Structure 1
Amino acid sequence: MERKWWTLLAVSVATFMLLLDITVVNVALPSIRADLGASFTDLQWVFDAYTLTLAALVLTAGSLADRLGRRKMFAIGLVVFSVASFLCAVAPDPAFLNGSRAVQGVGGAIMFAVSLALIAQEFTAGRERGAAMGVYGATIGIAVAVGPLIGGALTDALGWESIFYLNVPIGAAALVVTFVKLRESRDPNATRVDWPGVALFSASLFLLVLALVRGNAEGWTSALILGLFAASAVLMAGFVAVELRVADPMLPLGLFRRRAFTGVQLAAFAVSASLFALFLYLTLYLQNYLGLSPFQAGLRYLPITVLSFLIAPVAGLLLSRVQARLMLGVGLAMVGVGLLLMGGIQPDDSWTALLAGFLIGGAGVGLINPVIADVAVSVVPKERSGMAAGINDTFRQVGIAVGIAVWGAVLVARGTDRFTELAGPVAAGAPAHELVEAASSGSLGQALAAVPVPARQVLTVAARDGFLSGLNLVLFLGALVSLVGAALALWLVRENEIERSA
């Protein structure tokens, strides 16, 4: 088999492992909460600890790969990710688990930053690269499709720890292929790493997400939350100032003068901040509100995931025939419509209320994933593909991290208002936002164990309805984000800025 196909195989296996880990964790969250005593905030950090480190370091990883060697860095990422997965599996408490998830993000950052660059260096621009991106997109579809099923089956049969143990043999196999079959490459013009930019960007993003996650508990006008927002803004302003002045910036702001480059980053952010970030709260609905087991919840995700898997390779083949902006615009619009159809859930609805939205949203994801991957590395010179891939992955992961934090804050705030409205006098003295969080995370029974039975029934109904009200609101807002992303992609992405021939 030719080297380029071995490269595509190694990258696809690594991508499969990364995405499988995310989708598998989704359905295991209630089991993690029960075994480790995790709170609603802890469950948010299971995702955000991973995505924060990934988003903060992926650009640095791309720069290091261009300088030190892409194959070498890819192998390092596989090792770090696999070891961190083992640490997640043996975690004794939520803090250890989330710390291990942060280390996973370091390995994930390295692999994400290098994966698209490895494909771009082996496949010539045009139809050949489009076909490779179709395979890459199909891999994403497979991981999303089988992730909930594998996660549900493993969690039900062997416990949630097994979902992390699974990464160890997969990572070992990908490592062997990397060393035996892949070609080393680097940017001959690569320069030093922008460490001040890394520090400022990482700190700003961390403080922003921390403020969003803690806002409901501490109070949005409290000195702590306002201070976190202010510090995040100051650090981000410092980051921009450094990037404009430093000789070798982590994020070359001049690239954003290319409309297509800006458009594809906004498209990646939009789909990540909308549908992908909302998967966490949809899973909590399926398991903690409807009472489905992890495997049953995984089965319910099949419509959205199978369609994504089937459409991704077709989208890859269409890349050389259909304008990228049309595919991005249509795909993001479909995701937005899908989320609108998922909203409006009523207390007596079953999971089938989500079905139409799952089908349309899944088709939209399948359409845009290969397009984003291809355009991200085709709007810059080939030797800068590592940096371009890193920037795109940064926008993806920032979208997920910020999306999870924002939607969680909105869900609990809206749910608290609804709880107070429904519970009336019974709610006096009750920790409203804590009960809505408990309804979300599946620990409402424990939270109300000491409350007298008549009041417990009223508070239970109010808290569950509050969660549902919050979920409907964030689904609507997520749809708006996706639809705005569709409009921006149609406006900004232009075919004449995309490399379509060798």
Structure 2
Amino acid sequence: MILAVLCLSVFLVVVDNTIVNVALVTFSRDLGASTSQLQWIVDAYSLVFAGLLLAAGSLGDRRGRKGTMQVGLLLFAATSVLAALSGSAEQLIAARAAMGIGAALIFPATLAILINVFHEPVERAKAIGAWSGVTGLAVALGPLAGGFLLEHFWWGSIFLVNLPIVAIALLAGWKLIPTSRDRHAGRPDPVGIVVSIAMISLLVWTVIEAPDNGWTSTVTLAGFAGAAALLTGFVLWERRRVDPMLDVSVFSNARFSAASLAVATAFFGLFGFIFLVTQYFQVVRGYNTLSAGVHTLPFAVTAAIISPISARLALRFGTKLIVGLGLLSMSAGFLAASFLDGGSSYWTAVVPSMVLMAGGLALTTAPATEAIMGSLPVDKAGVGSAVNDTTREIGGTLGVAVVGSVFSSLYGPQVAAALTKLGVPAEPVGIARESVVAAMEVAKRAPGFARQPILDAASDAFLHGMAAGCRVAGLATLVGAAIAFAALPARAEAVVGDGAALAAAPQPVPAT
């Protein structure tokens, strides 16, 4: 029952990462949101969420994970109402940023509570598998839920739907979840908290803005340099403290650092692909928002089936093998998706690529999460969870930025050249370069004889950019697989922290 409450809470947080994507056209029409404002309606949540994760995990360890999660749920509900009632794009961006604060308080607390409730290795592996499965499921179901709500209700429903879920999680959590905290927490670390927030926020902001500013622009390079300087300062400060917020020496543990990198590369590829495939379904294949969401169900179903058993497979066969094979499977899925076109069979081309990706994601995330959490004492579960969650967010944000940049660098010039060749004037050509959706609008306003050639040119350019983007995602997960096979230990080497068998030796998995 506790696991069900934790999974419900984490589902709420993750689904809000993707549910707004299908509403962007609606926001543009009803709120008059510009392209830049649409980007920040999505990114304000991710930026605040990622920036506060490490600090929120530390707060949960020190003040109590149950209380931290409950406060986060209340804040999430209140800010969801503000988002639903927003009368302008600026108000919605501010509300989405405030929702990120609540999400940061909830997410690391869920995994930290799980680690404190499930101590026996096989049971903990099952629980982490279920938790990881729900996070993957939420990513896939966000567009489906958003599409259904937009099809039947006003756009504010995608935020108000959070309220009954929060009510259930709050009441059930208050009754069921035990209180836990770091029994040996030292003095508060305000310097570490402030520097960690600044470091992660600057890094995520730089990555988000890099495609617009240019990856080699002064602003981007200064942002990366500033984040690196803050990281250096954070490490030096934490190493000096007797009671650090995060014991940075844990990164010297190959099990912890290699698993963190595996999570980052998996979500790099996943979020980069989702950025493309939602447009592929709606623009190239012509699905509406609800139908596009329905057609992602094979991904969700595959993740839901494999995630609960993946951590147990790692106990039996070793983390190295399962995580490495998972990343290889994702890479194969991205490569297969790079050959999709408008006429590709859904069942024999699209579905197999999604199954490879979803299966690979499930095989990667649960065992890698168990490796990260198993490298830390139980009292530090909140910070450990925050590190796991931060790598997901940064990896996913970087994936959207890099894959999006690769896509744009190929799509824009090709569609411009094709439309110019068709005799389209310079102004609509410039509009069409911005996005494939903008190109569709250009086609709608064109004379009847020119519409189909413009649509065909936009579709061809989109598929050209998508192929390259999918191959970049596949290369990232292939590199992640190589690192996992080379650096990730097959088994935990020692028992850590207060005698808690968080990194216990593998035990036989009973037949079920």
Same fold by TM (over 0.5)?
A: yes
TM-superposed CA distance for 1:145, in Å, is 5.5
Structure-2 change in CA distance of 1:233 and 1:388 (3 Å): closer
Given residue 412 of structure 1, which amino acid in structure 2 is its aligned partner? S
Cα deviation, residue 54, structure 1: 1.7
**Is residue 145–residue 306 contact of structure 1 (8 Å, CA) maintained in 2?**
no
| Residues 407 and 43 of structure 1: CA distance in aligned 2, closer, same or farther (over 3 Å) | farther
What corresponds to 1:303 in structure 2?
298
Q: Which residue of 1 aligns with 2:497?
A: none
* Whole-Å separation in 2 of the counterparts to 1:340 and 1:267: 18
2:430 and 2:113 map into 1 onto residues whose CA distance is 47
Distance 1:368 1:348, change over 3 A: same
Check whether the contact 2:65–2:179 (CA below 8 A) recurs between aligned residues: yes
- Are residue 58 (structure 1) and residue 58 (structure 2) matched? no
Structure 2 gaps, min length 5:
495-502, 508-512
Structure 1: gaps (5+ residues): 1-5
**CA shift for structure 1 position 307:** 0.8
Match in the other structure for 1:10: 5
Q: Pick one of 408, 411, 414 that aligns with 1:412.
A: 408
Deviations 1:340-393 (A, max 9, x none): 111133355465542221111111122223213322211112111121111111
Residue in 1 that maps onto 2:510:
none
Post-superposition Cα deviations, 1:27-78, rounded to whole Å, max 9, x if no partner, equal 3344334433444444443332222222211111111111111111111111
Q: TM-score, normalised by structure 1?
A: 0.88
Q: What is the Cα-based RMSD across aligned positions, in Å? A: 2.9
Contact 1:145 1:305 in 2 (8 A): yes
1:77 is aligned to 2:72: yes
| Aligned residue type for 2:386 | G
Shift of 1:248: 4.3
Cα distance in 2, alignment partners of residues 37 and 443 from structure 1 = 15
Choose which of 91, 97, 100 in structure 2 pairs with 1:96.
91
Amino acid in the other structure paired with 2:174: F
Cα deviation for residue 289 of structure 1 reads: 3.6
**What is the identity, as a one-letter code, of the residue corresponding to 1:435?**
A
Paired with 1:434 and 1:70, the residues of 2 have a C-alpha distance of: 49
Once the 2 structures are TM-superposed, how far is the Cα of residue 276 of structure 1 from its aligned partner?
2.9
- Partner Cα separation in structure 2 for residue 389 and residue 217 of structure 1: 32
C-alpha contact 2:208 2:397 (8 A) present in aligned 1: no
Q: Residue deviations 1:319-345, cap 9 Å, x none?
A: 432211211111111111111111133
Counterpart of 1:362?
358
Count of residues in Structure 1 that have an aligned counterpart in Structure 2: 495
Indicate whether 1:477 and 2:481 are aligned. no
Farther off after superposition, 427-436 or 109-118? 427-436
**Inter-partner Cα distance in structure 1 for 2:457 and 2:201:** 33
**Correspondence for 1:488:** 483
The correspondence of residues 211-230 of structure 1 with structure 2, limited to 5 A, is 211-219=206-214, 222-230=217-225
Give the corresponding residue for 1:323: 318
Given that 2:56 and 2:105 are in contact with CA atoms closer than 8 Å, whether structure 1 keeps it comes out as yes
The aligned counterpart of 1:3 is: none
Partner of 2:111: 116
Aligned partner letter, 2:294: L
Farther-moved stretch of structure 1 (267-276 vs 450-459) = 450-459
CA distance in 2, matches of 1:371, 1:378: 10
Q: Which has the larger displacement, 145-154 or 369-378?
A: 145-154
Asked if 1:500 corresponds to 2:507, the answer is: no
* Aligned mates of 2:7, 2:215 — CA distance in 1: 42
For the structure 1 residues 97 and 281, does the alpha-carbon distance in structure 2 shift closer, same or farther, using more than 3 Å as the test?
farther
- Match of residue 376 from structure 1: 372
1:41-440 correspondence runs (5 A): 41-144=36-139, 146-219=141-214, 222-349=217-344, 353-424=349-420, 429-430=426-427, 435-439=432-436
Q: Identity of counterpart residues, as a percentage?
A: 33
Aligned residues of 2:406 and 2:469 also touching (Cα < 8 A) = yes
1:68 and 1:186 in contact (8 A); partners too: yes
1:400 aligned partner, one-letter code: G
Choose from 33, 36, 52 the match for 2:31. 36
After TM superposition, the score normalised by the length of structure 2 is 0.87
Structure number with the bigger relative contact order (C-alpha 8 A, sep ≥ 6) is 1
Task: Please identify, of 124-133 and 462-471, the stretch whose mean Cα deviation from structure 2 is larger.
Answer: 462-471
Q: Relative to 1, partners in 2 of residues 1:44 and 1:464: Cα closer, same or farther, differing over 3 Å?
A: farther
- Decide which moves more: 470-479 or 82-91: 82-91
CA separation of 1:215/1:454 partners in 2, compared to 1, >3 Å: closer, same or farther? farther
Corresponding residue SS for 2:435: helix
Residue identity opposite 1:408 in structure 2: G
- CA distance in structure 1 between the aligned counterparts of 2:474 and 2:257, rounded to whole angstroms: 21
Contact 1:258 1:497 (8 Å CA) reproduced? no
Whether the 8 Å contact between 2:331 and 2:477 is mirrored in structure 1 is yes
Deviation readout 1:376-420 (Å, 9 max, x if unpaired): 211112111121111111111111122222222222222223234
Which string of whole-angstrom CA distances, capped at 9 and with x for unpartnered residues, describes residues 287-334 of structure 1? 234331111011110111111111112224434322112111111111
SS in 2 for 1:321: helix
